[in-house]
Amino acid sequence: MKKNMGSADRIIRFVVAIALLILFFTGTVTGVWGIVGLVLAGVFLVTSLVSVCPLYVPFGIQTCRRTRVSHR
């Protein structure tokens, strides 16, 4: 797939994922909300590592810089 996430988007997702993992493993968030947080953290980690967000595709969202094509 074509990358559609910029650096800022990837960093924010990574930081939020780490925060959710910390909240779960310290016992601050438990139960159903803890499981939801774990799943969300997993999705955020994977999407930040591969630079592709599947939800951006149908809406045409792209947070990465577009490269300029030189026509010589």
Alpha helices in 1-72 (DSSP H): 7-25, 31-50, 56-59
Report the half-sphere exposure of 29 (CA within 13 A, side-chain side). Answer: 14
Amino acid identity, position 45:
L
Phi, psi (deg, nearest 5) at residue 13 = -60, -40
**pLDDT reported for residue 64:** 86
Checking if the pLDDT of 42 tops 60, the result is: yes
Q: How confident is the model at residue 19 (pLDDT cuts 50, 70, 90)?
A: very high
Residue corresponding to tokens 């630079």 = 51
Average pLDDT of span 61-66 = 84
What is the end-to-end Cα distance of the chain in Å, rounded? 28
**pLDDT reported for residue 1:** 76
Spell out the domain ranges in the chain: 7-53
- pTM, rounded to two decimals: 0.82
